[in-house]
A and B are shown apart, each in its own frame.
Chain A
């Protein structure tokens, strides 16, 4: 861990350096343009200072984004519509609902696929094919149609999240439930274990490592689903809505702060599952 800390820090510092350079490069046109209209000559230092402090820059500098995030999280009341915490919570709630639904559906399908040969042969190819369909393209339709029959709010977004997160769970769980080898299955048979017992005592426990790996992929996917699901609702609330509103009004700083918030959220979700994974596997003696 310590060995890779220095390289990671170097890379992160390099990213920030490129970010600042990129801000100079992309925003300088506007800075010169402004100065030209005021008949002023800009020195290099003035130009750099300007590119890092514009109101609507093409690429906001990291410290501008950081200030915006600070302003909209710490300085605002959480219930305020301008608070990023409020919008993150909206997105997070539909992410979590969709994730739970998707995981449930995924595990149920996986059990069906493992125990029923007909289902294995007919459903599995469609599960895989379903992911080559760009489901996010369906998002506007799902939202509008569900809205038309009176379902609105959390559930439509959660359904999109569910669709994105069930796939990794199905694939991982099918692999996991099939991971006990013939020797272990034979042992269960010599103990005269019923199929239910084999499931609870052998198949399910040995699928846990696979489950957690796919949960990590699934939770990241369901966050993407929730964000995209917020786009067609007309930018009411949530991180996706902040992105859309920002792009309508050219508020780049707002877009970037929503983006960073989404990234932080994704990192937190994945880290949480990672922690649960470590704790569970440790207690099960699998890690």
Chain B
């Protein structure tokens, strides 16, 4: 009973603080503090509900138990992280996005190809590409290469479509100006069109960053060596070791947010001139 009361108090206090803070004018501090307080409140409510209602840790472990498990098995989590995120997701992300940009630049020279590839690319980007995972595992084996291959296929089309659109985003006036400067194709590409395409490309990179992690983890459900986050999640669920599953999810969440945040920071640094970044 005490725990439930504690949960209600936590909910009430958190909500009141946030209401107070939200009424104040928006500053950097409140903009950061409000979501943080919201998150802490949620975790407290979770903890007290699980303890108060005596929910079996097999169904939903309390956050404290997850934290304990996390601290106890950092070594294991680290090997899984390296296997899935560094080897699988990041390498696939780099290859896929790099290839997409190169091909987009190549397509851009041929309007015929552009008109054909854009609708097809848009169509493919909406398909459940994750289904390619079993095929890739069959082609490239159980290790991280097959995961990277799935990631390459998943990130390729969103990146391609965004880059092609970005390369078309320059105005006729700007291109005319380049022509009056007697700039060649490559000069126009590097000085005008690629910089102008940056906001679009970063949009693609952001979408691809979440896709990459999903691809790498889900591909491991179809077969993997005895390490990796997807492998650990599916086997631990089988053993009902849900605290380890949640610890693995915490790692995935941190990795995902850090990945996305890194891309967003890079965007801020490189496209500081764009209206969406100035506000």
Q: Mark A residues whose CB is within 8 Å of B.
A: 3-4, 6-12, 15, 26, 58, 117-118, 120-126, 129, 131-138, 140-141, 144-145, 148-149, 216-217, 220, 223-224, 227-228, 231-232, 239-240, 243-244, 246-247, 250, 252, 255-256, 258-259, 262-263, 266-267, 270
Contact = CB atoms under 8 A, between A and B. Distances in A.
13 contacts: A7-B112, A7-B115, A118-B34, A126-B35, A126-B38, A132-B256, A133-B252, A138-B249, A252-B138, A259-B132, A259-B135, A262-B127, A263-B127
B222 A247 contact: yes
Contacts of A137: 214, 217-218, 229-230, 233, 248-249, 252
B59 interface: yes
A247 to B, nearest CB: 3
Given A232-B234, A243-B131, 8 more contacts: A122-B38, A131-B210, A132-B210, A136-B218, A141-B233, A145-B60, A148-B59, A255-B135
Contacts of B209: 132
Interface in B244-258: 245, 248-249, 252-253, 256-257
Given A126-B39, A141-B233, A263 B252 contact: no
Interface in B126-140: 126-128, 130-135, 137-139
A11 B116 contact: yes
B274 interface: no
Nearest to B253: A133
A287 B270 CA distance: 36
B30 interface: yes
B58 interface: yes
Nearest to B137: A247
B276 to A, nearest CB: 13
Contact of B116 (A4, A118, A243, A267): A4
Contacts of A8: 115-116, 119-120
A272 to B, nearest CB: 13
A59 B135 CA distance: 9
Contacts of B222: 244, 247
B134 A247 contact: yes
A129 B257 contact: yes
Contacts of A7: 112-117
A243 B139 CA distance: 15
A11 B116 CA distance: 6
Interface string B23-53: 1001000110011011100000000000000
Given A125-B35, A137-B214, A223 B128 contact: yes
Interface stretch (B5-13, B14-22, B92-100, B186-194): B14-22
Contacts of B37: 122
A7 B237 CA distance: 48
Contact of B115 (A3, A135, A224, A258): A3
Contacts of B230: 137
Nearest to B213: A134
A266 B127 contact: yes
A26 B139 CA distance: 9
Contact of B131 (A125, A140, A262, A270): A262
A176 B128 CA distance: 27
A227 B133 CA distance: 12
Going nearest first, the 9 A-B pairs with the smallest beta carbon separation are A7-B116, A247-B134, A122-B38, A11-B116, A125-B35, A132-B256, A7-B115, A121-B34, A118-B22
Given A118-B18, A247-B222, A227 B131 contact: yes
A263 B132 CA distance: 11
A256 B135 contact: yes
A259 B113 CA distance: 26
A154 to B, nearest CB: 18
Interface string B205-216: 000011001100
Contact of A121 (B15, B18, B210, B252): B18
Contacts of A124: 35
B221 interface: yes
Nearest to B21: A121
B3 interface: no
